[in-house]
Amino acid sequence: MDFEKLWNRVSKAKRIGICGHVRPDGDCVGSCLGMYNYILSRFGKEADVYMEEVSPEFLFLNGSDKVIKDYPDAEKYDVFFALDSGDAERLGEGSKYLKTAGYTYCFDHHPTNIGYCNENMIVPTDAATAELLATIFEEQYIDINTANCLYLGIVHDTGVFKHSNVTRKTMEIAGMLIEKGVIPGDIIDKTFYEKTYVQNQILGRCLMESILLMDGKVIVSYIPTEIQKFYGIGNSDMGGIIDQLRITKGVEVAILLKEANKREWKVSLRSNSIVDVSKISVMFAGGGHVRAAGCTMYGSAHDCINSLTKEIEKQLS
């Protein structure tokens, strides 16, 4: 990718759009707002940032209050960035801006991404899209606002620097961001470990109700809509549950099913060392990484679990 051309386009653009994926996670929010703050710091320009929602714990990031959650039809951007989204559909309603934009760029780290913009930079060895952005941003223009966003993105996609995607480069970038003024403990505790009472309750319930399958190699839990309603929780309250399931001793694959609509399940998959869960989620029209992936499945929870364990069994045998 020609970065001189990229920044030239940005400096000339009258209107800049930035969009993340549906159900945005920490890396998505950190990447989109990281790009927003970098453009603001380097060019003094505002950009429109699109995401369905921003979890309350991310609202301390500069620009989070300006995120646009509805997606007006008529918007046309000179330059449009699609960030952390493995395919155009995952941009949700934001995908329509790809068609009307003057020039589009995709920055992502999902290995299942085949590129859907005018220019695509997909680096699966980068732990987070925020890490990738840190490598293309010129260090002198990375201010504290940009640094906070990128650090948060890296923290969330690495499970606080502990997943197998962490490299020397990840840590060096984190170090650079600390030099820019990031306070690691603040971001890590406030956005990753801190849970509301009800979030802890739902975590506890998922662990209590979890089931071991395949001689304890697979752990499964599911959260029907009635339960979500009972606790008054949304998608952003169920983060971290899958990670707690995954670290159960002896487990290779953790499965969490969150019912989104009647008999429609948002599935999260994690593996520890053998199973490629991205391969499995791609079979069900999803995507992700080798050790962390997801998809949407339909039917009863038991049907979904059966279909998934069949595929896991194939990989384990």
Q: Report whether 311 contacts 277 (CB < 8 A).
A: no
The C-alpha atoms of residue 31 and residue 27 are separated, in whole angstroms, by: 6
- Which of 294, 301, 305, 311 binds ligand 5GP (CB under 6 A)? It is 294
Q: Is there binding between residue 254 and ligand 5GP (CB under 6 A)? A: no
Q: Which does 26 bind (CB under 5 to 8 A by kind): Mn ion, ligand 5GP, none?
A: none
Closest by Cα among 155, 209, 157 to 177: 155
Number of residues binding to ligand 5GP, judged by CB under 6 A: 15
Q: Is the dihedral of CA 50, 51, 52, 57 positive or negative?
A: negative
Q: Is the dihedral of CA 57, 98, 132, 175 positive or negative?
A: negative
Q: Is there binding between residue 268 and ligand 5GP (CB under 6 A)? A: yes
Residues 102-161 that bind Mn ion (CB under 5 A): 129, 157
Concatenating the DSSP letter of every residue in 276-304 gives -HHHHHHHTT-EE-SSEEEEEEES-HHHH
The DSSP element (H or E) to which 152 belongs, if any, is: helix 144-157
The C-alpha atoms of residue 3 and residue 1 are separated, in whole angstroms, by: 6
Concatenating the DSSP letter of every residue in 221-250 gives EEE-HHHHHHHT--GGGGTTHHHHHHTSTT
Tokens of 24: 């945005």
Q: Is there binding between residue 27 and Mn ion (CB under 5 A)? A: yes
Q: Is there binding between residue 287 and ligand 5GP (CB under 6 A)? A: yes
Q: Is 175 left (phi over 0), alpha (psi -120 to 50) or beta?
A: alpha
Selected range binding ligand 5GP among 33-41, 130-138, 170-178, 287-295, rule: CB under 6 A: 287-295
The C-alpha atoms of residue 29 and residue 289 are separated, in whole angstroms, by: 18
Smallest distance, Å, CB 193 to ligand 5GP?
17
- Judged by beta carbon, residue 84 or residue 237, the one nearer Mn ion is 84
Smallest distance, Å, CB 83 to Mn ion?
9
Q: Is there binding between residue 87 and Mn ion (CB under 5 A)? A: no
Smallest distance, Å, CB 108 to Mn ion?
8
- Judged by beta carbon, residue 187 or residue 293, the one nearer ligand 5GP is 293
Site string for ligand 5GP, 71-110 (x = CB under 6 A): ---------------xx--x--------------------
Q: Is there binding between residue 293 and ligand 5GP (CB under 6 A)? A: yes
Q: Is there binding between residue 311 and Mn ion (CB under 5 A)? A: no
- Which of 79, 133, 280, 292 binds ligand 5GP (CB under 6 A)? It is 292
Q: Report whether 92 contacts 60 (CB < 8 A).
A: no
Selected range binding ligand 5GP among 33-41, 56-64, 182-190, 290-298, rule: CB under 6 A: 290-298
Q: How many CB atoms lie within 10 A of CB 178?
A: 13
Q: Is there binding between residue 237 and Mn ion (CB under 5 A)? A: no
Smallest distance, Å, CB 277 to ligand 5GP?
8
**What does the binding site for ligand 5GP look like in residue numbers (CB under 6 A)?**
25, 86-87, 90, 112, 268, 286-289, 292-296
